[in-house]
Chain A
Amino acid sequence: MPDAVSVRSLTRRFGDFVAVDRVSFDVAEGEIFGFLGPNGAGKTTTIKMLTGLLRPTEGQAIVAGHDVAREVAIVKRNLGYMSQQFSLYADLTVEENIRLFGGLYGVTGARLTARRDWILEMAGLSHHRTRLTAELSLGWKQRLALGCAVLHEPPILFLDEPTSGVDPVSRRNFWDLIYDFAEAGTTVFVSTHYMEEAEYCHRLALMNRGRLIALDRPDRLRGAVQEPLLELRTDNPARAVEALREHPVVLEAAMFGRAVHLLVRDRDRAMDEVPRVLRSAGLACEALEVIPPSLEDVFVALVRREGGAPVG
């Protein structure tokens, strides 16, 4: 099966700043391909280069079988794009936005009517078709934007942090839609900084400081962390991180909600040493146990292995 997206040494510089640094990867047809990384990692810049919105400084991107640099018009016909900020027309109604993008993608007549009805149904906007888009809730806006992006039924869909700012329920519903598209054969290229969303992807590309630091299935990425991971519960996580960070047995100490996650060299030594360090620092050790790594832990571990600090 041909690749939906094929990227070779893609680079984008803004002056001295390298936003995307020699990134290469392939995305298979029908795949949900996740792009994970903190803000400023280069996710959006990469997506803009793949959708023909930004010229690469170097490298090549093939999307839907066409070189983005040379055949940008054909590429744009074959992709749907939803940008990070909501960017439909707020002063148009729901229906007017759909009709506009229908016209821009050459979807007219009976097909437009059918697609419009499908979008209204999918986004739950059937009763709000004549409302101004500005008046809609964020969740609704995002589903409408998704609808407009897939109005012409493109084989590839680019979603740049589509769920940022929406509540967890809307987010879950949004991902149900993404699964539906993928099952229908659409390739979905989605960026996010929500770690739990990354779990939904077939494959994940981890980006940090413009570089691709890992690319694999979520379960395999988790397996890539060989060192034991401990979760510590204490009365003062911030001070605990301070106290443990420089200890030789600890590779990485990071706050994780109310808990502290510790990547350690040796499980047994750590189980002995950590409570003692805490006690001498006047901190309580409420619980300490080995846990399986989450994607965030994987990310932190991989960034450490690369010898850098994550952006953001």
Chain B
Amino acid sequence: MSLTRLLAISRKELLQLRRDARSLYLAFILPLVLLVLFGYAISFDIRNIRMAVLDQSRTPESRELIESFAGSGYFSVVEHLETPADADRALGSSAVRLVLIVPPTFSADLAAGRGAIVQALLDGADANSATIAQNYAEAIVSGYSTRAVARGRRVTLPVTAESRVWYNETLESRNMIVPGLIAVIMSIIAAMLTALTIAREWERGTMEQLAATPVHRLEIVIGKLVPYVAIGLFDVALALSVGVVLFGVPFRGNLLLLGLLSLLFLIGSLGLGIFISAAVKSQVLATQVAMLATFLPALLLSGFIFTLATMPIVLQGLSYVVSARYYVAVTKGILLKGVGASVLWQDALAMVVFAVAGLAMAIGVFRKELA
């Protein structure tokens, strides 16, 4: 290992990166675009859910319940219905996603302490939104119940279908989305960044000249990795700043720990990119393989959107080899829960394994080609 040779490679890589618009876009623009786009798209989806109300009770109590929906910020009451048939029309035409029906006996049941029943009809065509709306509605009604119980009345919601809780009970879904989103975006960007580097050398013939010099494959792989690790860490910092400043995501944990674990994660993902690049030796193919190897697994099997515990056992098993899984746990844990190494050590260990494996694969596949 010669530091001079390693740095010569790193310096060259940076110079090339600086002159390559595509890489610059990938390194600095795309992560932000994705973060802002997904951050807003997902958060807009869960605010101001359009709902209609069929208030057959028309009492102060029913109006108070409806007011809790409207005042929550998650629903906006766009229509007051007259008959149950209107509910059909409103849901069917997609004018609203939820219809709240307050029966005529609502106030009387409350007063009698029998337990009042309200009905929420949901548009199940969009299952995701329906589930979100259902969870919000349950939370709002239970909040109302608590207040009612405190005042000596009771109310319960019959809509208690099997439900998975994707979002935290404070209903701050964006808090849950953005940290995981940062992890998912970084795993895609990292592999894409390095997927080009070795393939480009083969395609342009520069690898031959490089191979004729005394440079060792270790120096090439690590030399290429260094600038991208720096860029990756910068991206993480940038995404975190955007998350905290723009989306108001809390940062409760240790910044240094997050930096360290991000470094591990980046080494693994960038190493994977180099491995792919060295294995397929074509820029187009390497980009596609890198996309396939990171995008879907990171999106689906990282616990970012879909809870891993509720997945079929095969997919759960598969998720253990998706490095984004551990990084999602790390970003969520450190940002939202403020947990430290004592909780995250297993994830950290997995990320060490991925970093070592990424590097070993990159260097290993490279050996066959040189000399």
Which of B5, B11, B213 has the most CB atoms of chain A within a 10 A radius of its CB?
B213
Known: A103-B4, A103-B5, A104-B8. A76 touches B214 (CB 8 A): yes
Q: Scoring B residues 189 to 223 as 1 if CB is less than 8 Å from chain A, else 0, what string do you get?
A: 00000000000000011111111111110000000
CA distance A96 to B13 in the complex (A): 11
Q: Scoring B residues 1 to 33 as 1 if CB is less than 8 Å from chain A, else 0, what string do you get?
A: 010110111011001100110000000000000
B150 at the interface (CB under 8 A from A): no
A-B contacts, 23 listed (Cβ < 8 Å): A52-B211, A52-B212, A52-B371, A55-B371, A72-B371, A73-B214, A77-B214, A79-B212, A83-B212, A89-B12, A89-B206, A91-B16, A91-B19, A91-B20, A96-B12, A99-B8, A99-B11, A100-B11, A101-B213, A103-B9, A103-B11, A104-B9, A105-B213
In the complex, the chain B residue whose C-beta lies closest to that of A151 is B213
CA distance A105 to B208 in the complex (A): 15
Known: A52-B371, A53-B371, A77-B214. A87 touches B8 (CB 8 A): no
CA distance A101 to B20 in the complex (A): 21
CA distance A141 to B239 in the complex (A): 42
Which of B8, B211, B212 has the most CB atoms of chain A within a 10 A radius of its CB?
B212
Binding site for A on B (CB under 8 A): 2, 4-5, 7-9, 11-12, 15-16, 19-20, 204-216, 371
In the complex, the chain A residue whose C-beta lies closest to that of B7 is A103
Q: Which of A55, A87, A91, A103 contacts B209 (CB 8 A)?
A: A87
A189 at the interface (CB under 8 A from B): no
A85 proximity list for chain B (CB < 8 A): 205, 208
A90 at the interface (CB under 8 A from B): yes
A105 proximity list for chain B (CB < 8 A): 213-214
CA distance A83 to B207 in the complex (A): 11
Which of B9, B16, B206 has the most CB atoms of chain A within a 10 A radius of its CB?
B206
B200 CB to closest chain A CB (Å) equals: 10
In the complex, the chain B residue whose C-beta lies closest to that of A90 is B204
CA distance A99 to B204 in the complex (A): 20
Q: Which of A52, A91, A100, A132 contacts B8 (CB 8 A)?
A: A100
B207 proximity list for chain A (CB < 8 A): 87
Residue pair B19, A81 in contact (C-beta under 8 Å): no
Known: A52-B371, A106-B4. A89 touches B16 (CB 8 A): yes
A283 at the interface (CB under 8 A from B): no
Which of A52, A90, A103, A132 has the most CB atoms of chain B within a 10 A radius of its CB?
A103
A31 CB to closest chain B CB (Å) equals: 21
A234 at the interface (CB under 8 A from B): no
B208 proximity list for chain A (CB < 8 A): 53, 83, 85, 87
Binding site for B on A (CB under 8 A): 51-53, 55, 72-73, 76-77, 79, 81, 83, 85-92, 96, 99-106, 108, 132, 145, 148
Known: A92-B16, A102-B8, A106-B2. 6 other contacts (CB 8 A): A83-B209, A85-B205, A89-B12, A89-B16, A96-B15, A104-B9
In the complex, the chain A residue whose C-beta lies closest to that of B16 is A91
CA distance A90 to B16 in the complex (A): 9
B204 CB to closest chain A CB (Å) equals: 7
Residue pair A51, B212 in contact (C-beta under 8 Å): yes
Residue pair B15, A87 in contact (C-beta under 8 Å): no
B142 CB to closest chain A CB (Å) equals: 62
A53 proximity list for chain B (CB < 8 A): 208, 211-212, 371
CA distance A81 to B206 in the complex (A): 12
Known: A53-B371, A103-B4, A103-B7. A87 touches B213 (CB 8 A): no
B160 CB to closest chain A CB (Å) equals: 63
CA distance A83 to B204 in the complex (A): 12
Residue pair B8, A76 in contact (C-beta under 8 Å): no
CA distance A106 to B8 in the complex (A): 10
CA distance A72 to B19 in the complex (A): 34
B9 proximity list for chain A (CB < 8 A): 103-104
A101 proximity list for chain B (CB < 8 A): 213
A96 proximity list for chain B (CB < 8 A): 12, 15
In the complex, the chain B residue whose C-beta lies closest to that of A145 is B209
CA distance A101 to B215 in the complex (A): 10
A132 proximity list for chain B (CB < 8 A): 19
CA distance A40 to B20 in the complex (A): 36
CA distance A73 to B1 in the complex (A): 12
CA distance A55 to B211 in the complex (A): 13
B20 proximity list for chain A (CB < 8 A): 91
Residue pair B12, A92 in contact (C-beta under 8 Å): yes
B4 proximity list for chain A (CB < 8 A): 103, 106, 108
B207 CB to closest chain A CB (Å) equals: 8
Q: Which of B5, B15, B209, B371 contacts A88 (CB 8 A)?
A: B209
In the complex, the chain A residue whose C-beta lies closest to that of B210 is A104
B211 proximity list for chain A (CB < 8 A): 52-53
B215 proximity list for chain A (CB < 8 A): 104
Known: A53-B371, A55-B371, A76-B213. A100 touches B12 (CB 8 A): yes
A79 proximity list for chain B (CB < 8 A): 212
CA distance A88 to B212 in the complex (A): 12
- Lowest 4 CB-CB distances: which A-B pairs, in order? A103-B8, A81-B212, A87-B209, A104-B213
B2 proximity list for chain A (CB < 8 A): 106
B92 CB to closest chain A CB (Å) equals: 59
CA distance A91 to B305 in the complex (A): 41
CA distance A91 to B23 in the complex (A): 13
CA distance A167 to B207 in the complex (A): 27
CA distance A86 to B206 in the complex (A): 8
CA distance A90 to B19 in the complex (A): 11
Q: Which of B5, B11, B19, B205 contacts A106 (CB 8 A)?
A: B5
B8 CB to closest chain A CB (Å) equals: 3
A103 proximity list for chain B (CB < 8 A): 4-5, 7-9, 11
CA distance A89 to B18 in the complex (A): 14
B371 proximity list for chain A (CB < 8 A): 52-53, 55, 72
Residue pair A104, B214 in contact (C-beta under 8 Å): yes
In the complex, the chain A residue whose C-beta lies closest to that of B213 is A104
CA distance A147 to B366 in the complex (A): 28
Known: A55-B371, A72-B371. A92 touches B15 (CB 8 A): yes
In the complex, the chain B residue whose C-beta lies closest to that of A69 is B371
A81 proximity list for chain B (CB < 8 A): 209, 212
